[in-house]
Amino acid sequence: MMRRTILTVVALGLGVGAFGRLAPAQQPAASPITPEHIRQINAALKRDGITGGSVGYEGRTGRLELQGTFEDERQVDRAFSIAQSVVGVRWVSPVTPQQIKVKAWEECLARIFSGVPCGPAGGPAPSEARGEETPPGPVANKYAMVVGAGRFLNRIQPLRFANKDAYDVYTYLIDPSGGRFHRENVVLLRDESATRANSVRALEELRRRAVENDLVFLFFSSHGTPPDKYGGVHIVTFDSEVTPRERIWSTSLTDGILRDFVQTVRAKRLVVVMDACYSNGAYRGVAGFLPPGGKSLEASAEEGYGRSSRYMAQRLLGAKDLLVEPEPLASASQRPANGWGKVLISASDAGERSWESEQLGNSVFTRFFLDGLRRNGGFVKEAFEYSKPLVERQVKREKGSDIEQSPQLTPSRRQWDLSLAAAEG
């Protein structure tokens, strides 16, 4: 008989440290969460058969944390989602892998005995180290995957320009005077074709084809999911599900899927651009998805939420060799002749939305980043440096002087700069 896996949440929370945990009745003064919120959530957990787990205040931050024991990861996801739907994403503390005690090896062994590899995030087993510090030769082949999800199957708020973002990026890549990618080496997924299965299939094909001397470019324009129990914000696909609420995480393109690809693809030149963020506004039409009143406690219904670019880059690129800040832009004469490395570019920073623009007919970042690529011979660093101030100004001009959108870039190594328009060898 299969032994039941028991998952225990040791929920000290972020930033609690030696302060410990307050008893449920000890509400921190700055917290808008009331004992009634806690009673409501815990009652919902019991109704869902989660008898060993509960929520309580997290130290001095005033957020909620998961406490007690849970039978498996699905129960943790369900409890985390219920808490978010009552008080909002800002007021539920993420759980870190170090805070969970789970007999994951039991599930891993069961998969191995069934002939299925057991790797991180349920993906393929990671490959052996590939000598990341050995520079590649000249660019041999270039591959790209371009995804734009603007319409959705399951009541998620449409995006007006995500489809066009993807098409404009695709057009630039295959343009003989632009990116100079071979058309057959660029996968374009838009709206109905931008499903989770199609995205995973395309990533697997890229992983199979791309080798050390190749260049790979990934672009995504869509909504982000609410942050999951680990704080990850995933990319919503056409067929992402919203009922029950926690299904949004397992049916989207997760950062675990992307991480497995980024860390196992053989190509030593990789650029990932994510024009996506989480906003409550994307889910206002889904009953029970948001807290009562359609907004988080003391937060706008248009609230943006996400992790810092460095945190997300560590998840995708791996912590090794990450730069805290990108180096100053080199002049053309100082630019490395054969730059290489991995870089994550996000259209906005933590707590910011990634805006679409009626005036530009695109997402703001995508429009200016493409302009930067065209003006700078496809060089990614120059395109980013060109677009960043223009994005910040355009968003303030269109959306309000108090609205921030600050694109972020995190590379895996120094002297990584490369051109998407590089000639293939």
Using CA atoms, how far apart are residues 57 and 64, in angstroms rounded to an integer? 5
Contact present, 163 and 191 (Cβ < 8 Å)? yes
| Alpha helices (H) in 222-363, listed in sequence order | 247-250, 255-264, 309-317
- pLDDT band of residue 351 (cuts 50, 70, 90) is confident
Using CA atoms, how far apart are residues 140 and 351, in angstroms rounded to an integer? 39
Q: Is the pLDDT of residue 24 over 60?
A: no
Tell me which of 3 and 98 has the higher pLDDT: 98
Residue 36 structure tokens: 């009634």
In this prediction the pTM is 0.85
Tracing tokens 């496809």 back to the chain, one arrives at 378
128: left (phi over 0), alpha (psi -120 to 50) or beta: beta
Element (H, E) at 128: none
* 149 in the same domain as 237: yes
Q: Is the pLDDT of residue 124 over 60?
A: no
Summarize pLDDT for 228-267 with one digit per residue, the tens. 888 888 999 999 999 999 999 999 999 889 988 998 999 9
Per-residue confidence (pLDDT) for residue 127, from 0 to 100:
40
Work out the average pLDDT over 363-386: 97
Kindly list the distances between the CA atom of residue 282 and the CA atoms of 251, 307, 348, in Å, as whole numbers in the listed order: 16, 18, 16
> In 3-state terms, what secondary structure has residue 234?
coil
* 353 in the same domain as 234: yes
CATH code assigned at 395: 3.40.50.1460
Q: Is the pLDDT of residue 350 over 60?
A: yes
E-only strand ranges, 196-299: 215-221, 269-275, 278-279
Per-chain mean pLDDT for the chain: 82
Work out the average pLDDT over 87-108: 67
The last residue of one of the domains, among 104, 119, 154, is 104
45 contacts: CB under 8 Å, gap ≥ 6: 53, 54, 55, 79, 82
Using CA atoms, how far apart are residues 162 and 18, in angstroms rounded to an integer? 45
Written as one string, the DSSP assignment of 364-393 is HHHHHHHHHHHHTTTBHHHHHHHHHHHHHH
Using CA atoms, how far apart are residues 93 and 11, in angstroms rounded to an integer? 9
Q: Is the pLDDT of residue 4 over 80?
A: no
Residue 3 structure tokens: 């032994």
* 64 in the same domain as 182: no
Can you give the residue range of the structural domain that contains 262? 140-325+337-411
| Nearest to 252, CA basis, from 228, 236, 231 | 236
* 358 in the same domain as 229: yes
Residue 130 maps to a domain: no
> In 3-state terms, what secondary structure has residue 187?
strand
Q: CB neighbours (10 Å) of residue 19?
A: 13
Residue 131 maps to a domain: no
* 81 in the same domain as 156: no
Angle, in degrees to the nearest 10, between helices 73-87 and 35-47? 140
> Would strands 186-190 and 215-221 be described as parallel, antiparallel, or unpaired?
unpaired
* 82 in the same domain as 156: no
Length of the chain: 425
Work out the average pLDDT over 348-356: 87
Contact present, 272 and 250 (Cβ < 8 Å)? no
The neighbouring-strand residues paired with 343 are 271, 411
The last residue of one of the domains, among 76, 104, 132, is 104
Residue 373 structure tokens: 């690529």
Stretch among 127-131, 245-249, 296-300, 358-362 having the lowest mean pLDDT: 127-131
* 99 in the same domain as 190: no
Residue 125 maps to a domain: no
Residue 234 maps to a domain: yes
Convert 251-262 into a string of H (helix), E (strand) and C (coil).
Answer: CCECHHHHHHHH
Per-residue confidence (pLDDT) for residue 133, from 0 to 100:
72
Residue 224 maps to a domain: yes
> In 3-state terms, what secondary structure has residue 145?
strand
* 148 in the same domain as 13: no
Tracing tokens 């838009």 back to the chain, one arrives at 190
* 43 in the same domain as 145: no
Quote the number of domains for the chain.
2
Per-residue confidence (pLDDT) for residue 96, from 0 to 100:
61
Residue 111 maps to a domain: no
Summarize pLDDT for 141-159 with one digit per residue, the tens. 999 999 999 999 999 999 9
* 290 in the same domain as 232: yes
For the chain, give percent helix, strand, coil, nearest 5: 35, 15, 50
Percentage of residues in the chain having pLDDT higher than 90: 56
Per-residue confidence (pLDDT) for residue 318, from 0 to 100:
57
* 217 in the same domain as 299: yes
Single-letter amino acid code for the residue at 107:
E
Tell me the backbone φ, ψ of residue 114, rounded to 5 degrees. -90, 0
The neighbouring-strand residues paired with 66 are 55
- pLDDT band of residue 69 (cuts 50, 70, 90) is confident
Stretch among 13-17, 293-297, 394-398 having the lowest mean pLDDT: 13-17
Kindly list the distances between the CA atom of residue 242 and the CA atoms of 189, 238, 390, in Å, as whole numbers in the listed order: 21, 12, 35
* 367 in the same domain as 261: yes
Residue 2 maps to a domain: no
Summarize pLDDT for 25-52 with one digit per residue, the tens. 466 657 889 999 999 999 999 999 999 8
The last residue of one of the domains, among 82, 104, 126, is 104
Residue 379 maps to a domain: yes
Single-letter amino acid code for the residue at 79:
A
Helices and strands: H and E segment counts in the chain? 10, 14
Per-residue confidence (pLDDT) for residue 66, from 0 to 100:
92
Using CA atoms, how far apart are residues 399 and 356, in angstroms rounded to an integer? 10
